[in-house]
């Protein structure tokens, strides 16, 4: 991390975080570093019900990426070790790719992101910041546990998406690769493996978000 980054004042950090919030929640404000995996996939026709179902799943994925951005931004604000903070920022950039890919696919499916994204963002940011305060082992452990939940959802979506929706499937497949990598890196960096009760609580919470985002 540069000396300039270490010298950021509280006001600088507030302005930076405010900018990130606006970019995360505003459509068309995301600049992916990688092209969408869907770019080279066939655009096969979907029935009305298939398109609606695919849009619901991609809306869930988009909301998940909003949560991921908030989580990483919250942790990046409170993480104590510079190398951990940089790890959060690198992972967050990959989540920006996912966010942009899902948003583009939603538009192609004539749909839009969840109206509750600001709520998900606020909750996830608070949890991320609190995890960072507890210490880097807990912070990284929370990343690993969260990414594990995301991987389970993505795997389920690959089973549920219409077989001919190759564009959505290509996006989800690459997201699954990235999220699994984030989980491995978080554990390798010293993240703790959360006990089963905490994981069960996280599973219940994520199900509430996914069921709601699918429809709203």
pLDDT tens-digit readout, 80-90: 766 666 666 67
Question: What does the angle CA 79 – CA 85 – CA 87 come to, to the nearest 5 degrees?
Answer: 135
pLDDT over 60 (residue 49)? yes
Q: What is the CATH number of the domain that holds 173?
A: 1.20.1260.10
Residue 147 among known ligand-binding residues:
yes
Tell me if 173 is assigned to a ligand binding site: no
8: in domain: no
Using one digit for the tens of pLDDT, what is the confidence trace for 137-156? 888 888 888 888 889 889 99
- To the question of whether residue 103 is assigned a binding role by annotation, the answer is no
Does residue 1 lie in a domain region? Answer: no
Q: What domain count does the chain have?
A: 1
Quote the mean pLDDT of the chain: 81
179 is in an annotated binding site: yes
- Domain membership flag for residue 113: yes
pLDDT band of residue 3 (cuts 50, 70, 90) is very low
- Domain encompassing residue 113: 44-215
Answer yes or no: is 98 within a domain. yes
The predicted model scores a pTM of: 0.81
153 assigned ligand-binding residue = no
For residues 174 and 65, the model is more confident at: 174
- The percent of residues above 90 in pLDDT, for the chain, comes to 28
The counts of H helices and E strands in the chain are 8, 0
């Amino acid at each position: 991390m540069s000396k300039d980054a270490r010298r950021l004042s509280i006001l600088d950090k507030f302005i930076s975080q405010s900018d990130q919030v606006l970019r995360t929640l505003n459509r068309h404000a995301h600049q992916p570093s990688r092209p969408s995996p869907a770019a080279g996939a066939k655009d096969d026709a979907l029935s009305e019900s298939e398109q609606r179902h695919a849009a619901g799943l991609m809306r869930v994925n988009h909301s998940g990426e909003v949560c991921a951005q908030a989580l990483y931004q919250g942790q990046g604000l409170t993480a104590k070790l510079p190398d951990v903070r940089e790890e959060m920022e690198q992972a967050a950039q990959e989540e920006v790719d996912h966010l942009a890919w899902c948003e583009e696919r939603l538009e192609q499916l004539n749909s839009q992101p969840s109206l509750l994204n600001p709520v998900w963002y606020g909750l996830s940011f608070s949890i991320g910041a609190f995890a960072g305060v507890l210490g880097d082992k807990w912070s990284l452990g929370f990343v690993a546990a969260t990414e594990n939940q995301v991987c389970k959802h993505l795997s389920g979506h690959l089973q549920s998406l219409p077989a001919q929706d190759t564009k959505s499937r290509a996006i989800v497949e690459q997201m699954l690769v990235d999220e699994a990598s984030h989980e491995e890196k978080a554990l390798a960096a010293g993240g703790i493996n959360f006990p089963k009760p905490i994981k069960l609580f996280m599973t219940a919470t994520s199900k509430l978000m996914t069921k709601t985002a699918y429809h709203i």
